[in-house]
């Protein structure tokens, strides 16, 4: 069934798998590069370079995720606007805005509907 998938979906899937692998290796490299671990070199300069390499892997993982999501969203947007439904979409937006404007209360109903009437000042007790 994966042969039937569109090219942009397969590309997005591949980018997400690459992103997961880069993130996984980024975690491993970052743990090795932490100062608090005894794994690997004891030299602090080497440890910091390993930590920077882990950070680079995380950045690459994020860029792959960003590319996959952007590619998929672009394709969905293109397919949405490619259809001849643009006037229908615009008219639905205008209809929704009109309904919101019509729901505004008039002045005589506003106090009854949205504000609770406060108690008269004679009902208050002073200590």
The structure's pTM equals 0.60
Q: What is the model's pLDDT at position 1?
A: 44
Q: What is the model's pLDDT at position 36?
A: 85
Per domain, the residue ranges of the chain are 8-98
For the four alpha carbons of 75, 77, 82 and 84, in that order, the dihedral sign comes to positive
Selection from 62, 35, 65 nearest residue 51 by Cα: 35
Mind listing the pLDDT tens digit for each residue in 58-96? 999 999 999 999 999 998 888 777 765 566 667 778 888
Cα(9)–Cα(115) distance, integer angstroms: 52
Q: Where are the alpha helices (DSSP H) in 34-125?
A: 44-82, 86-102, 107-114
């Amino acid at each position: 069934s994966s042969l039937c998938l569109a090219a942009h979906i397969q590309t997005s899937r591949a980018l997400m798998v690459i992103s997961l692998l880069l993130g996984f290796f980024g975690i491993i490299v970052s743990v090795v590069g932490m100062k608090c671990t005894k794994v690997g070199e004891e030299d602090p300069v080497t440890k910091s370079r390993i930590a920077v390499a882990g950070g680079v892997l995380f950045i690459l993982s994020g860029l792959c995720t960003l590319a996959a999501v952007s590619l998929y969203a672009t394709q969905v947007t293109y397919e949405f606007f490619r259809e001849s439904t643009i006037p229908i979409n615009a008219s639905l937006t205008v209809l929704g805005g009109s309904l919101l404007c019509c729901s505004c209360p008039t002045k005589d109903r506003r106090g009854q509907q949205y504000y609770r009437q406060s108690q008269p000042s004679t009902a208050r007790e002073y200590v």
